[in-house]
Amino acid sequence: MSPRKTLFVVKTLFVVVCLMVMFGARVAAAQKPGEADCVPGVSFAALLNSVRIGYTDGRLSLDRLYAVCLPTPAQPSASNYPYDPDGGGKLSTVVKRADGQTLGTYVWYAESIGGLWELSRYKVVGGAQAVKPLSQGAYVLEFALEDKVFQRFPFSIVEVRGDDPYSTPGQRYFIEGAWNDYGNLYYQRNDPASSLSFTTWVQEKAGHETKRSVPYEMNLVRESDGKVLATDKATLRLEPRWLKASFSFRAEGGDPNSYYKAGELLKADGAYSFRFTLDGKPSGTYPFNVKGGRVQMQGRQLRDGGDPLLRITDYISGGRYTSWWIKRQ
């Protein structure tokens, strides 16, 4: 082969290799880990912190929410919000009774910030006067993209008669559901050297405004022998609304000045639970398992955990880290 032909072949091979590398890089960029099976979802923690009921008027309110894996709307928006009630994509939350009757529709302004969609505010179809009080019973929030439902969040309303003679007479309203049922286990960056933390929600179902502190004890227990491995005890404030309660642990019988590390839990496979006592009374047991040095997901957090519309969405630091939602017994 002549030197000129040899040079031509070398250049051609070089171009082909470069194109293959570039194409491979684009495919890798387009298919980051987890993206292929990424489905739209609203953060479960955000729902627990943001869905509220008016204590005296029974009106539902929604604060800022966060969602993942929303598609870019096909219809462009004239504002900075790709999802916009006045133009652009339609991202809505519909309030329904358990029997399917629609009670109200909230249409969101939402924008992507660092890959996480922020649902910052909304318009109510029919105006603020369309938000009617909810009476005792079962309800559901349905989140939809262009009117196609992708997630459901069931809840119920409980009424208690007001018993404060110095306040407006009538009923007092409480929202119940996932707040009653779940706790969350987490350790920073999923690094076993990080301290273990657990979060749940507490409220006092009272017919009058109250703010009182009560003693609590949260224990991490090894189920095989009932041994308490770590504990947190102090006081919590109770109000007639849900408040987030976070717990940090110290090893039972260990150094009271150092926190219990996740690695201590993960080094032995088996069944464990968090056992919660509030104001001297048992307030729930949260069981979970460790296998292969990892906390095992359970229930609705699993991809095959039943109805996909009820799946728990957990998305920390762009999906790089995990927390575990544990069902209370």
pLDDT of residue 10: 36
pLDDT of residue 38: 83
CATH topology of domain 181-299: Immunoglobulin-like (2.60.40)
Q: What percent of the chain has pLDDT over 70?
A: 89
Instruction: Tell me where in the chain the CATH 2.60.40.10 domain(s) lie.
Output: 181-299
pLDDT of residue 275: 98
Specify the range with the lowest mean pLDDT, choosing from 14-23, 59-68, 206-215, 281-290: 14-23
pLDDT of residue 289: 98
Average pLDDT over residues 70-78: 94
CATH topology of domain 41-176: Immunoglobulin-like (2.60.40)
pLDDT band at 29 (very low <50, low <70, confident <90, very high): very low
**Secondary structure, 3-state, the chain:** CCHHHHHHHHHHHHHHHHHHHHHHHHHHHHCCCCCCCCCCEEEHHHHHHHEEECCCCCCEEECCEEEECCCCCCCCCCCCCCECCCCCECEEEEEEECCCCEEEEEEEEEEEECCEEEEEEEEECCCHHHCCCCCCEEEEEEEEECCEEEEEEEEEEEEEECCCCCCCCCEEEEEECHHHHEEEEECHHHCCCCECEEEEEECCCCCCCCCEEEEEEEEEEECCCCEEEEEEEEEEEECCCCEEEEEECEECCCCCCCCCEHHHHHCCCEEEEEEEEECCEEEEEEEEEEECCEECCCHHHCCCCCCHHHCCECCECCCCECCEEEECC
Would you say 110 and 82 are in contact if contact means Cβ atoms under 8 Å apart? Answer: yes
Distance from C-alpha of 258 to C-alpha of 269, rounded to nearest angstrom? 23
pLDDT tens-digit series, residues 193-225: 999 999 999 999 999 999 999 999 999 999 999
Which residue's structure tokens are 């728990």?
Answer: 312
pLDDT of residue 37: 67
Mean pLDDT across the chain, nearest whole number? 90
pLDDT of residue 252: 93
